[in-house]
Amino acid sequence: MEDKYILYFFLGLLVAVAIGIILSVIIKLIIKNKLKISVTIIIGIISFFASFGIAFGIYVGSYNHADISVNKYLVSTSDVEVNKIDQGYYFDGKGNETAIIFYPGAKVEASSYAPLLFEIAKSGIDTFLVEMPCNLAFFGKDKANKIIDNYNYDNYYLMGHSLGGAMGASFVASNPDKFSGMILLASYSTVKIPDNLKVLSIYGTNDGVLKFEKYETNKANLPSSTIEYVINGGNHSGFANYVTQSDDHLASITVLDQQELTKNKIIDFIN
């Protein structure tokens, strides 16, 4: 999860450094004059930031797009009112006491999770779908603050998928008094979660993205009362409506079934 994207960042950094050095040398050769060391350094720095900006733009511009099927879940019905808010989407169902704030997985379009969150709201627990900068929860792990400050619920649960779960867990650990619990979808916490918080951890047996050795190691960071739910045949991508990730395994159940099982378990857990 998050370790993979840290590796990608440093690889991009190395590439940018290499390109910056090459460009500065080429520019120096083109000018055919002996540039002062300071000028060469400035050229190198400018080349580096330009190269890094281009590389980063290409990286974040390539992400998993939501399937067209999510569109109907972004429209209000008699059961759920869907509102576009500054932080993303607000699915306002018939519940008034409890809400879930959801952090998407890395490089996944946020609206991919609309079907799952819509159905949860329809069942009586309102949900907030957070849109992350560049589709990376690294850059918006404190976004739950604005939702909590602007809405009035007795109980908040932070839920996240993959990297979104890891970043959400980090935020919960720093702000435990703001939450009643946490829900991890194919994710784990790298920081200690207070024992008084309720935690539900869900993953599929066919998950090809989740690092199970790290998942097992980091179980120690969760309360002893944590509930673990394993979906037989489910995979990493099945919690949302987007094309299965290239490094994921194929699921032996449908996306609809995986999300239905997930929804039911979440409702039972909170209630």
pLDDT single digits (tens) 168-201: 999 999 999 999 999 999 999 999 999 999 999 9
Residue 216: both structure tokens together: 């097992």
Residues 231, 256: Cα–Cα separation, whole Å = 13
DSSP state of 94: S
- Do residues 98 and 47 share a domain? no
- Do residues 250 and 118 share a domain? yes
160 in Cβ contact with 137 (< 8 Å): yes
* 58-78 as b/e: b if 16+ CB within 10 A: ebeeeebebbeebeebbeeee
Last residue of one domain, picked from the residues 15, 42, 61: 61
pLDDT in tens, 218-253: 999 999 999 999 999 999 999 999 988 888 999 999
At 243 the pLDDT is: 85
DSSP-based three-state secondary structure for 236: coil
Residue 33 in this model has a pLDDT that exceeds 80: no
- Do residues 105 and 202 share a domain? yes
Task: Domain count for the chain, please give it.
Answer: 2
DSSP-based three-state secondary structure for 55: helix
Residues 163, 63: Cα–Cα separation, whole Å = 14
pLDDT in tens, 79-92: 999 999 999 999 99
Residue 69 pLDDT grade (very low, low, confident, very high; cuts 50, 70, 90): very high
- Do residues 192 and 265 share a domain? yes
At 42 the pLDDT is: 62
- Do residues 152 and 260 share a domain? yes
Residue 151 in this model has a pLDDT that exceeds 60: yes
Last residue of one domain, picked from the residues 38, 61, 84: 61
- Tell me phi and psi for residue 16, to 5 degrees: -65, -40
Residue 118 in this model has a pLDDT that exceeds 80: yes
- Do residues 165 and 46 share a domain? no
Residue 27 pLDDT grade (very low, low, confident, very high; cuts 50, 70, 90): low
- Do residues 109 and 181 share a domain? yes
* 9-31 as b/e: b if 16+ CB within 10 A: eeebeeebeebbeebbeebbeee
Residues 187, 105: Cα–Cα separation, whole Å = 9
**Amino acid occupying residue 147:** I
- Tell me phi and psi for residue 240, to 5 degrees: -140, 175
- Do residues 138 and 90 share a domain? yes
Residue 47 pLDDT grade (very low, low, confident, very high; cuts 50, 70, 90): low
Domain carrying residue 15: 2-61
- Do residues 139 and 257 share a domain? yes
- Do residues 54 and 126 share a domain? no
Last residue of one domain, picked from the residues 61, 95, 112: 61
The pLDDT of 52-69, averaged and rounded, is 66
- Do residues 27 and 117 share a domain? no
- Do residues 72 and 27 share a domain? no
Work out the percent of the chain whose per-residue pLDDT is above 90: 68
In angstroms, what is the C-alpha Rg of the chain? 21
